[in-house]
Amino acid sequence: MLLYMSQPQEATSTPLHSVSVAGVVVREDGRLLAIRRADNGTWELPGGVLELNETPEAGVAREVWEETGIHVEVDELTGVYKNTTRGIVALVFRCKPSGGNERTSSESTAVSWLTPNEVSDRMSEVYAIRLLDALDGAGPHVRSHDGKHLIPAG
């Protein structure tokens, strides 16, 4: 006799989230590593989806290297950011460059070291705040956004 177990109703209605990681790579001169994404042309931090078999720190190091050619030492978690529209939770870590040479990849059409002012000019607020939060030393910050604008805490 075969028995089938069904999942409880609440399990099927629980929203699923994906977890991404991103690196705020800070050079000694204070410039920050950024990429222009190949798929939509926006400037963002290097990062991507965390794989099941890796730690968040290993995921950050892998993603930064894959997208930019820069190896990093991961320092600390500086923020957790939830995109309420897409169900993505991003873990952002401050990092130090430890070698490699800047290069583009299939995911980036440009790699650049930006000043904090250039970050604010080139990135939308939901991505710029991740870099600025990593610099203020008051983290980790926890913020939500709708993909375009920050949602006030409360």
Task: Output the domain CATH number for residue 117.
Answer: 3.90.79.10
Has residue 10 been placed in a domain?
Answer: no
Q: How far apart are CA 129 and CA 83, in angstroms?
A: 13
Has residue 2 been placed in a domain?
Answer: no
Strands 108-114 and 32-37: antiparallel
Q: Which domain holds residue 92?
A: 16-151
C-alpha atoms less than 13 angstroms from C-alpha of 31 in its C-beta half-sphere: 8
C-alpha atoms less than 13 angstroms from C-alpha of 28 in its C-beta half-sphere: 2
Has residue 134 been placed in a domain?
Answer: yes
pLDDT single digits (tens) 134-145: 999 898 999 999
Q: How many structural domains is the chain composed of? A: 1
Whole-prediction pTM value? 0.87
pLDDT single digits (tens) 63-113: 999 999 999 999 999 999 999 999 999 999 999 999 999 999 999 999 999
Q: Any bridge partners for residue 34, and if so which?
A: 112
CA angle, 64 as apex, 34 and 62 as ends, to 5°? 170
